[in-house]
């Protein structure tokens, strides 16, 4: 190493990364962002699923009409249940104990006392019985013996004053309690033995409890009654009290002073009801709630629910955390299992975050609806499971839909706390619908699928119900409910399919058939501008459809994709040989590189036209991938031929004459690629015999196989061989020999 010499500085151009390096780095970063977004969606879905399944705690799993296989006992220390019957009886008794409230207006009794006092004054002033007016005697029904007794009690001023005071004292209790009229109380209050009476102007709190016998006139006049005895006890003379009482006895009926207060009475009784606390029955650990084999009725269901609520409330934080971790582990296991299946068998999902988000969103939404609908007894939780599985089957394939069905059925049973028989019903019925959902080309297809699921739900319900020994009434009810929901799922999905196609980017056979109609604007324009390309596309669609059916690919998608795969050619139709008329070749005056750019450009132009006319993504993928990264051989070799004559010319780079790709990512794209190539090449054969057609197809398929065009589409060698055989048969059928008719000769 020499000392003292400096190293030459690298130029900035050498330090700057190349465009290819920057492009690779950007692609890698884009893939990383896509992968991170997909993982974020899956993680959010996983946590949401766990939260939905966990809910607020263990689910309540019993229903009316079930017959448990074992005794159901109390598993908590104790719980209480409100005894509605006893509570109602006690509150009614408290209300009945409140007597009717009446307000007393004693004015008629005071007037009666004054009139009686006036009568004593009249008697005192009359020397004889005959001196009293007849009207007074008739009004009071005064008799001679009564006159003599009153005359004796009022013969002196002192006795008159004493009698006046005694009359006031005798009426005091009558005025205080009042007199009840015959129609004062309503019929439902006639049986009340006690009455609550308040004086007018006083609040209800000052009311006094008074026996009914003290205010009912027919009972007040009884000689052995308290009113009569208290009245007579107010007089010192044992004879004067009975005489005066006999004078007022007949007048009590006409002097009612009590008025019934209905609203105040109802308010007091309502207060009495509210003061009575609820009556609770207490159940302790070990008590039997439902006997083995006993049918659960409404009363038993209430007890079981209260016991369940008490058990959930008694869970500690640690118990809830352990349950949540267990559910999280189960959900993670199902997600990992599903992810492994996707990685092995649904590779396109890995590179399409939108599809991942769609499936995760369907799972979360379906389980959320299951949680809500499972609170009812209608078995309506089957609907979201069936619809979600059918949507996945339409968007992907029945195999992947079966995996989703298994996960949803298992998580549904965990969320609702049901057992294996319910899992079998959900899984069996939904799987039957999914397996029959092969291709949706008619509107009635989904209704037939729903009917298949409904029939399977019905049969599985009866099978599991008879297996468990459930009551026939319950099995019959569940069977019809579940069958109805299965059929409803088919009708709902059929009606909402156009909206789901737009929202979720799903392409069904119905939408493909609508696209393949010749009235589509793009196809009409293709016929007008490039009729040769249109004819080529129709032929490619026919032979590609047969090949796709041979290997189990989506034949309808391949056929409709073939109709649109060359729509980009309509922008420069005369640069493509099938549209050229006569011997004019527009590439004759162009450099091979320029011709290649025009030829390759029809792919990008086709994708742009498809996006402008809102073609679905699978069709756009076929347009973009139907040439893969194949070489435009004619112009590549022409460029090499021209360069061969010039020794100083640079080497022709092969990459400049290849389509930009990508390579076919699906079986359908690979089939379309081969069908397009063999149909175009077969037109160049002057004598398309079966042997030549077979050699042509084999050569083109082998060339693309060696070129690595099938590396990313998932086709196996056996499937490639079957595609080759199908294409050969189709081309032989197109170019089959015809009978040569003799020429018409004139006479």
* Residue 288 pLDDT greater than 80, yes or no: yes
Regarding whether 494 and 445 lie in a shared domain, the answer is yes
Tokens 């939904």 correspond to 430
- Confidence band of 297 (pLDDT split at 50, 70, 90): confident
Reported as a single tens digit per residue, the pLDDT across 717-746 is 999 999 999 999 999 998 876 555 555 444
Cα distance between residue 620 and residue 610, in whole Å? 6
Please count the other Cβ atoms lying within 10 Å of the Cβ belonging to residue 470: 19
- φ, ψ of residue 245 to 5 degrees: the values are -65, -35
Quick one: which of 454, 609, 443, 451 has its CA closest to 525? 609
Which of 260-264, 349-353, 475-479, 637-641 shows the lowest mean pLDDT across its residues? 349-353
At 533-550, the pLDDT tens digits run: 999 999 999 999 999 999
Could you tell me if 435 and 500 lie in one domain?
yes
Report the DSSP pairing between strands 280-284 and 78-82. antiparallel
Tokens standing for residue 144: 């001679």
User: For residue 307, is it within any domain?
Assistant: no
Paired tokens of 101: 């409230």
**Mean pLDDT, residues 713-720 taken together:** 92
C-alpha distance from residue 221 to each of 168, 194, 213, 217, 236 (Å): 18, 18, 10, 6, 20
Q: According to the model, what pLDDT value does residue 746 have?
A: 46
- The overall average pLDDT reported for the chain is 88
pLDDT in tens, 246-281: 888 888 888 899 999 999 999 999 999 999 999 888
Residues 602 and 651 occupy one common structural domain? yes
* Helical spans, DSSP H, in 505-554: 509-515, 521-529, 531-551
Q: Which of 589, 600, 553, 566 is nearest to 680 (CA)?
A: 566
Task: Examine the domain organization and report whether 457 and 330 are in the same domain.
Answer: yes
Domain count across the chain: 3
Residue carrying the six token digits 């029939």: 455
Percent of the chain at pLDDT > 70 equals: 94
For the cut 60, the answer to whether the pLDDT of residue 649 exceeds it is: no
Q: Which span out of 28-42, 509-523, 553-567, 582-596 was modeled with the highest average pLDDT?
A: 553-567
Domain range spanning residue 657? 514-734
Residues 645-662, mean pLDDT to the nearest whole number: 77
What are the tokens at 100?
A: 């009717």
pLDDT at 645: 56
Specify whether 593 is located in the same domain as 651. yes
Model pLDDT, residue 3: 47
Angle at the Cα of 436 from the Cα atoms of 430 and 437, rounded to 5 degrees = 90
Same domain, 617 and 633: yes
CA distance 102 to 466: 67
Average pLDDT over residues 632-637: 87
- What pLDDT sits at residue 743? 56
* Structure tokens given for 349: 């999902």
Q: Which of 207, 240, 273 is the endpoint of a domain?
A: 273
Q: Are residues 43 and 144 in the same domain?
A: no
Contact 482, 457 (CB under 8 A): yes
Within a domain: 582: yes
Q: Where are the beta strands (DSSP E) in 224-263?
A: 258-260
> Same structural domain for residues 469 and 570?
no
End-of-domain residue from the set 506, 537, 553: 506
Residues 479, 552: one domain? no
In which band, very low, low, confident or very high, does the pLDDT at 747 lie, cut at 50, 70 and 90? Answer: very low
Same domain, 569 and 652: yes
User: Cα(568)–Cα(623) distance, rounded to whole angstroms?
Assistant: 9
What pLDDT shows up at residue 737?
60
Comparing CA positions, the residue from 658, 726, 735 lying closest to residue 698 is: 726
């Amino acid at each position: 190493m020499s000392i003292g010499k400096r190293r030459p500085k690298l130029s900035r151009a050498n330090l700057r990364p190349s465009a290819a390096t920057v492009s690779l780095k950007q692609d890698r970063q884009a893939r990383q962002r896509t992968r991170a977004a997909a993982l974020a969606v899956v993680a959010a879905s996983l946590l949401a699923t766990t939260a939905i399944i966990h809910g607020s705690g263990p689910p309540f799993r019993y229903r009316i009409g079930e017959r448990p296989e074992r005794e159901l006992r109390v598993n908590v220390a104790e719980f209480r249940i409100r005894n509605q019957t006893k509570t109602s009886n006690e509150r009614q008794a408290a209300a009945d104990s409140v007597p009717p409230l009446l307000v007393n207006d004693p004015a008629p009794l005071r007037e009666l006392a004054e009139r009686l006092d006036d009568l004593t004054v009249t008697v005192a002033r009359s020397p004889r019985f005959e001196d009293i007016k007849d009207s007074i005697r008739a009004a009071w029904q005064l008799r001679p013996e009564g006159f003599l007794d009153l005359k004796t009690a009022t013969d002196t001023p002192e006795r008159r004053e004493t009698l006046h005071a005694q009359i006031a004292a005798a009426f005091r209790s009558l005025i205080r309690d009042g007199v009840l009229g015959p129609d004062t109380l309503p019929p439902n209050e006639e049986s009340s033995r006690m009455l609550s009476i308040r004086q007018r102007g006083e609040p209800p709190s000052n009311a006094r409890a008074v026996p009914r016998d003290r205010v009912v006139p027919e009972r007040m006049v009884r000689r052995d009654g308290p009113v009569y005895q208290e009245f007579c006890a107010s007089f010192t003379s044992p004879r004067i009290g009975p005489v005066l009482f006999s004078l007022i006895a007949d007048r009590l009926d006409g002097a009612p002073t009590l008025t019934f207060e209905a609203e105040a009475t109802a308010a007091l009784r309502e207060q009495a009801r509210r003061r009575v606390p609820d009556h609770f029955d207490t159940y302790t650990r070990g008590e039997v709630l439902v006997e083995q084999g006993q049918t659960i009725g409404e009363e038993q269901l209430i007890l079981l629910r209260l016991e369940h609520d008490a058990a959930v409330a008694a869970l500690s934080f640690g118990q809830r955390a352990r349950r949540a971790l267990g559910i999280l582990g189960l959900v993670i296991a199902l997600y990992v299992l599903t992810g492994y299946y996707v990685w092995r068998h649904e590779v396109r999902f890995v590179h399409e975050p939108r599809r991942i988000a769609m499936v995760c969103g369907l799972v979360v939404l379906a389980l959320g609806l299951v949680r809500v609908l499972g609170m009812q007894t209608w078995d309506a939780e089957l609907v979201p499971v069936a619809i979600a599985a059918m949507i996945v089957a339409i968007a992907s394939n029945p195999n992947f839909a079966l995996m989703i069905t298994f996960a949803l059925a298992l998580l549904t049973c965990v969320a609702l706390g049901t057992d294996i028989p319910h899992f079998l019903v959900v899984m069996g019925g939904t799987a039957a619908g999914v397996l029959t959902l092969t291709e949706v080309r008619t509107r009635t297809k989904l209704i037939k699928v729903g009917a298949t699921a409904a029939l399977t739900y019905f049969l599985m319900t009866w099978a599991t119900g008879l297996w468990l020994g459930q009551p026939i009434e319950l099995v019959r009810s569940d069977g019809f409910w579940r069958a109805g929901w299965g059929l409803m799922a088919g009708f709902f999905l059929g009606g909402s399919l156009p909206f789901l196609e737009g929202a979720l980017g799903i392409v069904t056979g119905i939408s493909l058939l609508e696209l393949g109609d010749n009235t589509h604007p793009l196809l009409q324009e293709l016929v007008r501008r490039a009729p040769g390309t249109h004819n080529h596309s129709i032929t490619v669609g026919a032979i590609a459809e047969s090949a796709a059916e041979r290997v189990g690919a989506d034949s309808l998608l391949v056929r409709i994709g073939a109709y649109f795969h060359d729509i980009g050619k309509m922008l420069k139709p005369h640069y493509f040989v099938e549209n050229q008329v006569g011997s004019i070749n527009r590439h004759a005056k162009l450099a091979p590189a320029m011709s290649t750019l025009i030829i390759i450009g029809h792919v990008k132009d086709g994708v742009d036209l498809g996006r402008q006319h809102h073609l679905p993504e699978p069709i756009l993928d076929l347009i973009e991938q139907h040439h893969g990264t194949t070489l435009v051989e004619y112009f590549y070799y022409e460029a090499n031929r021209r360069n061969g004559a010039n020794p100083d010319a640079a080497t022709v780079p092969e990459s400049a004459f290849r389509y930009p790709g990508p390579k076919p990512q699906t079986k359908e794209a690979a089939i379309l690629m081969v069908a397009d190539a063999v149909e175009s090449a077969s037109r160049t054969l002057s004598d398309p015999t079966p042997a030549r057609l077979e050699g042509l197809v084999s050569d083109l398929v082998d060339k693309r196989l060696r070129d690595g065009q099938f590396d990313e589409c998932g086709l196996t060698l056996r499937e490639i061989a079957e595609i080759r055989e199908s294409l050969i048969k189709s081309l032989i059928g197109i170019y089959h020999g015809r009978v040569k008719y003799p020429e018409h000769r004139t006479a």
